[in-house]
Amino acid sequence: MHTLQAFSVCIPLSFTMSSEDDLKIKLVSRDDVEFHLPLKAAKLSRFVCNSLSLDEDGQLPVEEDDNKEDLKVDVIRVSGGCLEKVVDFMNHHAEEAMEEVAMPLPGPTFEDVSDQ
């Protein structure tokens, strides 16, 4: 339960069209399984944002710009199998935005809350 909390969604980050579109982030699980994903998808994780020291606009700090090849985040509390699911989620929702959940919840079942 605690490991997934590390991947709460960043609120909100701007996604600018730039050379960052091609930039890949490497996430490494506790059992040394590596996953590469676009920065746009990685920005969906507050944990990754904090680890990369992204600014308020979701941009890399200037000193990090020259070292884009080495953007690696160790996720030491998450296994490779679990991190794979998280990476799949981030890749999917980087392309298809998540719907906001109305509060208070409109009903007692999941179907009442979301149609995704």
Edge-first strand order for the sheet with 24-29 is: 34-38, 24-29, 72-75
Determine the pLDDT at residue 29: 97
- Residue 25, Cβ neighbours under 10 Å: how many? 23
Closest CA to 35 of 104, 81, 2: 81
- Using one digit for the tens of pLDDT, what is the confidence trace for 46-97? 899 888 888 777 777 766 445 555 589 999 999 999 999 999 999 999 999 8
Ramachandran region of residue 53, left (φ > 0), alpha (ψ -120 to 50) or beta? left
Distance CA 32, CA 57 (A): 30
* Contact by Cβ (8 Å): 72, 78: no
Q: Which domains does the chain have, with CATH numbers?
A: 2-113 (3.30.710.10)
What pTM was computed for the model?
0.68
- Using one digit for the tens of pLDDT, what is the confidence trace for 11-43? 333 333 345 567 899 999 999 999 999 999 998
Q: Is 48 helix (H, G, I), strand (E, B) or coil?
A: helix
Q: Which letter does DSSP use for residue 109 in this model? A: S
**Identity of the residue numbered 47:** F
